[in-house]
Amino acid sequence: MSDFEDILRNLERRKRERLEKDSDTYKIMERVFDQSTLFVLNDMINRGIFDVFYGAVSTGKEANIFCAIDKLGNYVAVKIYRIATSDFKSMHRYLASDPRFSRVPKDQRRVIFSWASREFKNLQRAHEAGVPVPKPIDQQKNVIAMEFIGENGVPYPRMKDLPPKDPKKAFEILLDCVKLLYKEAGLVHSDLSEYNVMLAPDPVIIDFSMGTETGNPMSMELLQRDMDNIVRYFRKLKVKTPEVAEIVKDIVSESD
């Protein structure tokens, strides 16, 4: 029996039949799970981070997110960055501008592992600052385990798929989140848009892989881009918003 089959059976030992019936999920897992990733997942199971894999939740440009469950019955989101197909050269350029990761060598695995580490550390800082984000649980190499934002294994919708029932309230909450992230966590999300906000029903900010410290020389440019995206989205929903320059000035001045 191959390493893949052996560890996969361990991952799915209580839900094997479900996986075998879902051939698409099995194919995704084969593409994502190289040998190194399989051993990381197996180690996480042995350490009690989660107990059972349920299948793919979403597929992104660089990573796949799977649903898992721990021994207490809590759902866990498991984000796995693909080693073979991730654009590590682009990742390295972003890491090089972040003071925390500027010395990462241009090696594919090291870059992807650092990318996952940065996202996990960003989640930790954001969560500790009180920003509504998935609670980080564990990170090892290219795998991140975090709180599952949803119910019964079904994720809450992203804002791009389902506009908030009260757009004005959602805008105000997000604005407060960005301020809190900047002031208390010392971070800029750097990729904030309706694609990276889930409604639970209040906004929860996700995908912190591009998040960077306010000490990054590019942080102001990235903050403005975040606010450009958010303002554009809510203006389409007829929300009256301040100008982006005014919002950015307010965020930065409150943090001085």
Active site residues: 191, 207
| 112/143 Cα distance (integer angstroms) | 10
Residue 178 contacts residue 126 (beta carbons within 8 Å): no
Q: What is the DSSP letter of 194?
A: G
How far is the C-alpha of 143 from the C-alpha of 59, rounded, in Å? 14
Helix, strand, or coil (residue 143):
strand
Alpha carbons 206 and 3: distance in angstroms, whole number: 32
Instruction: Tell the burial category of 186 from Cβ atoms under 10 Å away from its Cβ (0-12, 13-18, 19+).
Output: middle
Cβ atoms of residues 112 and 90 within 8 Å: no
Encoding tokens for residue 194? 């309706």
